[in-house]
Amino acid sequence: MTAKRRGKLSPTVGRDEVLRDSRGRVIDDDYVTGAVEDAIAYVRGRGRPSLSESGESPLIRVRVSRDLDVAVREAANRAGTSVSEWVRTALERAASG
């Protein structure tokens, strides 16, 4: 959807000019700061929650044989968990010795 152009576009806004959004709200520094914070919160809120305290969850992709895939899926099913959770648990156990 394209907004209708109202008036002539200008690269600058005059000191006495008041800009408003489509709802009539004044666009000032506080408005822009709030809009940026809302956009960042929206983007960060998407997707799955982080598994790390740092906020990032690195993704490790590996190729496995069909037999191993079946075995892992069956083991996860027996454990009553997702494949991802089962693999994370197995990797944590292997990495901790």
Q: Please give the pLDDT value at position 96.
A: 93
Q: Please give the pLDDT value at position 13.
A: 74
For the chain, the domains span 17-48, 60-97
Q: Are the C-beta atoms of residues 56 and 48 closer than 8 Å to each other? A: no
In the chain, what are the helix, strand and coil shares in percent, each to the nearest 5? 45, 0, 50
Alpha-carbon gap, residue 72 to 87, rounded angstroms: 8
* Radius of gyration for the alpha carbons in the chain, expressed in angstroms and rounded: 25
Q: Answer positive or negative: Cα dihedral of 81, 86, 88, 94.
A: positive
Local mean pLDDT, 10-residue blocks, the chain (97 residues)? 60 80 90 90 74 78 96 97 95 92
pTM: 0.50
